[in-house]
Amino acid sequence: MATEADEMAGQAVLVTGGAKGLVLAIAELFAARGARVGLVDIDEAGLANAAARLGGPPGAEAVHGDIRFGKGADAAFAEAVARLGRVDVLVNNAGVYPRKPILEIDDDTWDYVFDTNLRSMYHMTAAAARHMRPRRAGRVVSIASIDAHIPYAKNAHYAASKAGVISFTKSFAEELAGDNILVNAVSPGPIDTPNLRKLGIYEDLARSTPLGRVATPADIAEVVCFLAGPRNRYMTGETVIASGGIVMV
């Protein structure tokens, strides 16, 4: 019987936005559990650092690419397949978080957020579906946000893009269920990352969270790994809220 340490052995996992923060924690956990990991990001220098942290090939394969549009996403996915041999699991986490009040959102900011957070998720998942369907197996996990579930006028374009991630998750899950491809999402609450610390609201968020702390990246990585792993056999089209009790449904 496989142990937790090798439950992903033989699996190839592709993680987008994989140069730092949450995605690095996700990649590290998959690698620790035996998976071969590919990272996709537009930040070439960050990719190199992340791959080095994961031990380099075969521990990690770095794919540099802009996945906001179909041509770039297809090229990045094809390169990942060439390097990894196949992709069994896709984790969509490429995203941006530019805070702006709702009445100040201009077209350029709108496009930047939706192209990065939602369009990339669609194109990468579509590429994964075409790749996974012939084998009738696969997992896709996308990172949404609790902001998709609650009003958030301070960053409404971000919240709307993450609500779109949840909607596409359901649609892809229905489309691919007959092919044994499970498609799910995770909506994290605040996560302890350098970007969150820079906003100066870490302590307030920790105090306002029912569990009394902000999530570590490893907390969320565990949820992602479960949804993508062999222990998940029957969940598809679901969004798991991992917010320390901030959002309860």
Q: Return the DSSP state at 141.
A: E
Measure the CA–CA gap between 124 and 89, rounded to whole angstroms. Answer: 11
Residue 58 clears pLDDT 60, i.e. is over it: no
- SS3 at position 187: strand
> What is the reported pTM?
0.95
In the residue annotation, 158 being an active-site residue is answered as yes
Q: Give me the residue spans of the domains in the chain.
A: 4-242
pLDDT of residue 222: 97
Q: What is the pLDDT of residues 69-79, one digit of tens each?
A: 999 999 999 99
Band (1; pLDDT cuts 50, 70, 90): very low
Q: Return the DSSP state at 97.
A: -
Lookup result for tokens 């596409």: 168
Q: Average of pLDDT values for 101-116?
A: 96
- 52 φ, ψ (degrees, to nearest 5): -65, -40
> Which position among 97, 158, 202, 234 bears the catalytic label?
158
Band (202; pLDDT cuts 50, 70, 90): confident
Query: Closest Cα partner for 162 from 195, 187, 189, 193?
Result: 187
pLDDT of residue 47: 87
Measure the CA–CA gap between 193 and 149, rounded to whole angstroms. Answer: 21
Which of residues 116 and 55 earns the better pLDDT score? Answer: 116
Percent of the chain having pLDDT more than 70?
97
CATH of 4-242, one of 3.40.50.11540, 3.40.50.720, 3.30.910.20, 3.40.50.2000: 3.40.50.720
Band (196; pLDDT cuts 50, 70, 90): confident
User: What is the amino acid identity at position 249?
Assistant: V
